[in-house]
Amino acid sequence: MKKIKAGVIGTGFIGPAHIEGLRRLGFVDVVALADINEEVAKQKAELLSIEKYYGDYKDLLNDKDIQVVHICTPNYLHYKIAKEALLAGKHVICEKPLAMSSSEGEELVRIAKEKGLVNAVHFNLRFYPLMHHLKKMIEKGELGKIFAINGSYQQDWLLYETDFNWRLLPEFSGESRAVADIGSHWLDLIEFVTELKVVEVYADFATFYPVRKKPLNPIETYAGKLMSAEDYEDVKITTEDYATVILKFNNGAHGSMTVNQVAAGRKNRLYFEIYGSKKGVSWNSERPNELWIGRRDGSNEILMKDPSLLDAYAREITSYPGGHNEGFPDTIKQMFKKVYTYILEEKYLRGEKPDFPTFEDGYREMLICEAIVKSAKNGCWVMVND
């Protein structure tokens, strides 16, 4: 079988997860990686058994073997590298958020279109089979008219003032932190399953630690949990630890989203509940194989992920029978399977609609995020530009 060759830029927390997902497909060879300098790149390449390594991402972009580039760097590099990769003729899979501003996002959408290249943003949470199933339930009208959508995305890896990461600093992560980092997943997932659009937002932000203690040596995402409280310097923090956003949707539904990166005990929990005129549903990413379905005039139920019980659209992204849990790494594999099949079967050359999140979706999240930041600053309702 013909294999597609990929290169991964950035090998912190998420880069190795991309590499693992790609390897599980069987028809993709990860031939090279790039990191901040040659020494780090070499170390990571040995650790991950990757043939070629580059201390400068530009050399990876010039590598003629590589057809697809994965951008797994801190946020501030996404736009710059994605643009250069597209101009170098590579298909691009970029981490979220796509860029630092909607104008950058819009430019990437335009360039990808002009170049006719495949582009994807890593909103992998769509690829829990029950999320694909729920999308079909809603499409078939099983929930009725949607009235209310509420939920949260909460984590505790930044709970202590000694927890530190590049995401805390606006020059690396953008003006917003929690909303851009994890709120973007929640918003993308809700718009994906409901096919509704957020049209107006009202936000309240809080930064509980206006000053944090930064370790003198670099550390990776989530690694702070293992450090002791010494050798730190004080750093001023302006990005939000917490946000609650009230939402209005284009069908008249109302909702709210809370994001919190200092929520003790919540490791990485995306939660939502959607209430319609016929049924309600709720789901939590820490128990991803269970969907609660609520009724007023009958028994509530828990639908367990089992291919035989799912819509064909969801069955397509399950790899194991019921009772065999599929989790976070599986969402990555399933998303990449769609993207790489699209490339392999040259669907982009025929203009077929991609069935995965593209730069358009990344741009859309940038627009919502900007409206949320504006609302938090000005204390008023803000329309989402479209």
Q: Scan residues 133-172 and list those touching ligand SOE (CB under 6 A).
A: 155
Decide if 88 contacts 80 (C-beta within 8 A).
no
DSSP 357-385: --HHHHHHHHHHHHHHHHHHHHTS-EEPP
Residue 183 beta carbon to ligand SOE: minimum distance, rounded to whole angstroms: 10
- Where does this chain touch ligand SOE (CB under 6 A) — which range of 28-36, 139-147, 177-185, 306-314? 177-185
Which residue has the CB atom at the shortest distance from ligand SOE?
A: 181
Residue placing its CB nearer to ligand SOE in the complex, 182 or 245: 182
Residue placing its CB nearer to ligand SOE in the complex, 188 or 279: 188
- Where does this chain touch ligand SOE (CB under 6 A) — which range of 42-50, 138-146, 179-187, 362-370? 179-187
Which of 181, 240, 365, 370 touches ligand SOE (CB under 6 A)? 181
User: For residues 34 and 21, what is the distance between their CA atoms, to the nearest angstrom?
Assistant: 18
Residue 321 beta carbon to ligand SOE: minimum distance, rounded to whole angstroms: 26
Residue 113 beta carbon to ligand SOE: minimum distance, rounded to whole angstroms: 26
Told to check if 284 binds ligand SOE by CB under 6 A, we report: no
Residue placing its CB nearer to ligand SOE in the complex, 221 or 244: 221
- In the chain, the amino acid numbered 81 is I
Told to check if 182 binds ligand SOE by CB under 6 A, we report: yes
Told to check if 320 binds ligand SOE by CB under 6 A, we report: no
- Reported in sequence order, the residue ranges of the chain that DSSP labels E, i.e. its strands, are 4-9, 28-34, 52-54, 68-71, 91-94, 119-121, 146-154, 198-206, 211-215, 232-236, 242-249, 254-260, 269-276, 280-284, 290-294, 301-304, 382-383
User: For residues 215 and 256, what is the distance between their CA atoms, to the nearest angstrom?
Assistant: 35
Q: Which residue is it, tokens 């917490």?
A: 242
Helix or strand or coil: residue 15? helix
Residue placing its CB nearer to ligand SOE in the complex, 181 or 303: 181
CA 172 vs CA 148, 165, 167: distances in Å: 35, 10, 6
Which of 150, 162, 221, 244 touches ligand SOE (CB under 6 A)? 221
Interface positions with ligand SOE (CB under 6 A): 13, 155, 181-182, 185, 221, 268
